[in-house]
Amino acid sequence: MDDVVAKVDDVAAKVFGPLYAGRRYLRTHELIAIGVASNRRTLANLVKRGDLPAPIRLGRLLLFPAQAVAARLIEAQDAAPSKDGACIVRG
């Protein structure tokens, strides 16, 4: 079990960078800072389309599961690489 957790943490660190390594959840402003979306409305649209997992709501706070977001971003990069070679996944 610890190997699986370590592997997931490695993937999350590669996708989000070392600052967010080991995090279970990411807040809305953190996803915006990483560059997943430019604002809350865009995040809501990504969730609605199924490009991001649904967040967990705690009062007014929205928490996105970090591993699920990392997996979706990797899937999106593999499915449709851009023409200029740029990608949304860091690492």
Tens of pLDDT, residue by residue over 13-68, are 777 776 666 778 889 998 898 888 899 999 999 999 988 889 999 999 999 988 88
Q: Can you say whether residue 61 is alpha, beta or left, with left for phi > 0 and alpha for psi between -120 and 50 degrees? A: beta
* The model scores a pTM over 0.85: no
Using an 8 Å Cβ cutoff, are 56 and 63 in contact?
yes
Architecture of the domain delimited by 2-79: Orthogonal Bundle (1.10)
Tens of pLDDT, residue by residue over 79-91, are 765 555 555 544 3
Kindly list the domain boundaries of the chain, sorted by start residue: 2-79
Q: Can you say whether residue 22 is alpha, beta or left, with left for phi > 0 and alpha for psi between -120 and 50 degrees? A: left
**Half-sphere exposure at residue 7, Cβ-oriented, CA atoms within 13 angstroms:** 5
**Residue 61: beta bridge partners?**
58
Task: Tell me the mean pLDDT in the region 64-78.
Answer: 81
Helices (H), ranges, 17-60: 28-34, 40-49
